[in-house]
Structure formats: structure tokens, C-alpha cells
Amino acid sequence: MKKKLEQIFQQKVTGKVVLVTGASSGIGETISKKLAAAGAHVLLVARTEEDLIRVQKEIESVGGKASVFVCDLNEMEQIDTCSQQVLASVDHIDILINNAGRSIRRAVHESLDRFHDFERTMQLNYFGAVRLVLNILPHMMKRKDGHIINISSIGVLANATRFSAYVASKAALDAFSRCLAAEVHAHKIAITSVYMPLVRTPMIAPTKIYNYVPTLSTDEAADLIAQAIIKRPKSVATHLGRLASLTYTLTPSLNNILMSVGFRLFPSSTASVGKKEKLNIIQRAYAKLFPGEHW
């Protein structure tokens, strides 16, 4: 079955031009390599040129095709410049994967003097992604073809505690995507949100308790994106993500209780002061009940 899906994926992306943001590490790097191995021309976008060139060389060393575009996606002018450079170098873009993101794990009551956390998270996760879409979309509309994949979070479905800044930014992108999907339907452009569970990437490394909870590998995360490319659905989510969304819709008070228990079980991070964080038996059991959730 897996081999068959890989063959279908290859048929879908061979000869396609795919732009991936946050392509220098983690999920972005892994899906970029997967796409290139399947025959796509991958446009690698991130802010660190050295890391992008490393990924490009690794792709080219096994016969793949990749181009590097350095861009700080926090900066709107840089996104505009990068978009112009990209569109000048390729005839079109078939698939845009908005993967770059920033996550902050901090309770609201611990953020009273940190409004900048909300601003910078929204700047990258929402405004940066939207700005890039606004630049690429007219070209997809002109061709009447295209696929925009926005990497969202399981936290949007489950209302993850301590992640209000992160979840709010992803929820904003989610709402934007739903509105846009109807507007571009007649242009044969698909919009997909991938509600990604917790993935073991450099982004979560500072939170030491994540060393002891179930997470996806970047390969498994890339498989979810591949699923989105193959089927072009409105959304892709794990079983837990769909269940979390259902419980909030049908019994929001139950969802609130479950999230509240998790909030109390998993304290704020002490990584900043160098304290090791390990889980007790109850914490481990709870984490296994909700694999991939952000605590």
C-alpha cells in the first residue's frame, strides 16, 4: 500500500514546481527532499543561506533539482522581493507549501508583559504566509491551476493550552484559507490545511518534556503533506485531531476539562534555567492518550 502511494505521489509531482518555506530544516527540509526525489523542482525558501545550500546540495547529489531563495519571512519587503525573484526564475508555481513557523509555549498569565510574543508569532505564521500567497495567487489564477498547502496545527482543533499565541496565528491562517478556498474554486486552485501534530523538529527542542512524549518524525509529517498533495482535500488531520475537533463541537465543556487537566499536569518549561524535565507515570499515561498534542 505504501509503495502504491509513493507511486501515486511521484505521478502527481514529477515535473512540478513546488515552493517550500522553512525548507532549511525539520519538516520543510524533509518534504523538500521527498518532493525532489519524486521528480519535482523544489524552490527552497528560508532565511539562512548556508542551510539552504546544504539542503540543495544533498538533493542534487542524488539527482534531484532544487533552487535556493534566501528570505526572512518576518519581513514583508523581503517576501515581495523573493516572490519577484522566484517568478522571474520559473515559468510558474504548481504547489506552494507554507511551512515556516514559530511556536511559543507560554501560558497567557505568564505573558502579560510579553505582547511581542503574540506580535512576532502572528507576523511569521500569519502575515508572512498571507503575503506570500498574495504574491503567488495571481499567477495560479491566470493559469487556472494550483495548490496552496498551509501547515496548521492540531492545537487549532484541540485548543492547546500554553500555545495561545501560536494557535491563534494558525487559526487566523486557517480562517483565511477557508475563505480563500471558495473564492478560487472556479479557478481550479485547491487550498489545504494540514493540522500537524507535535513533530520532533528543532522548533520543539527547547521544551525538554517533549523528549518524553509521543511525537511524529519529520518523515511521518512529510507523509501527511504528501497525502495532501495526492488528494487535494480541504484538510488533513490525524485521528486525534479529528476527535478533538468533534468533542469541542459536540461537548465543548468536556474538551475544556481535558485540556485543563493537561494544563495542570504539564508545567511551564524550566528549560531556560537549565532544569531537567522528566515525566512521571501519570504524565506519561496522559501524553500517550493524546499522542501528538502540544502540552
CA pair distance 295, 264, nearest whole angstrom:
10
DSSP E strand stretches across 7-82: 17-21, 41-46, 65-70
CA pair distance 295, 210, nearest whole angstrom:
8
Which residue numbers are catalytic? 166
Residue 145, C-alpha cell as written in the block? 491551476
Residue 227, H or E segment: helix 218-231
Q: DSSP for 93-140?
A: -SEEEE---------GGG-TT-HHHHHHHHIIIIIIHHHHHHHHHHHH
> Counting beta carbons within 10 angstroms of the beta carbon of residue 91, is it exposed (0 to 12), middle (13 to 18) or buried (19 or more)?
exposed
Vertex 12 angle, CA 11 and 13, to 5°:
95
CA pair distance 181, 175, nearest whole angstrom:
10
